[in-house]
Amino acid sequence: VEIWKELENAKFPSEIQAEFARTSERPEELHSNWRELLYVLVRLCEPALVVETGVYDGLSSAYILGALATNGRGRLLSVDINDGTNVPADISDENVGWVVPQSLRERWLLKFGDSRDILPGLLEDASVDMFLHDSLHTADHMRYEFETVLKSMTDGGYMLTDNCRFNEVYREIISEY
């Protein structure tokens, strides 16, 4: 509860709101308990390395980065295809992740491309403490990402996914490991 309350005084949520004020798209996304839960998990687990696939506007990324900054350690590696249709038309000069405040970007490496092409090289010598899948939610793609990241996952690492109800892959992977 104490960590959750940190968000009431954190600077980055208001910076995100300022970014969203630039567009008329997705304003309902600002009050999501999911991202607050990500913040709390990262604060409690204190991961050295978080890997995320699927950035979209960067809301989840910003909450993860905000928690890493408060922890005073850790970094976030994100992968996204950077499809221009994922950026609101009224701010189309930006890339995905556009709502992540500049103040949080020093701990962030954002790679553009298909995770099938990027993850193997990105994780070659990595020790992943936390993984968040939020990219393509097909069974094949999710299985590929989970199995690829699991090869680099630390003992006791955390595997998270958004939209786990789209198929059974998350439950299958978790039960196998």
Token pair in block for residue 149: 């990241």
- Confidence bin at 176 (pLDDT 50/70/90): confident
pLDDT of 34 strictly over 90: no
pTM, full prediction: 0.88
Distance from C-alpha of 16 to C-alpha of 90, rounded to nearest angstrom = 16
Question: What average pLDDT does range 134-142 have in this prediction?
Answer: 91
Question: What average pLDDT does range 150-177 have in this prediction?
Answer: 86
Select from 122, 118, 139, 143 the least CA-distant residue to 50. 122
Asked whether 61 and 78 are in contact (CB, 8 A), the reply is yes
Token pair in block for residue 120: 């193997």
pLDDT of 28 strictly over 60: no
pLDDT digits (tens, 9 = 90+) for 68-111: 999 999 999 999 998 766 677 777 667 889 889 999 999 999 99
Token pair in block for residue 13: 């949520």
Distance from C-alpha of 57 to C-alpha of 141, rounded to nearest angstrom = 21
Q: What is the pLDDT of residue 144?
A: 95
Tell me the C-alpha to C-alpha distance, in Å, between residue 37 and each of 22, 86, 146: 26, 24, 21
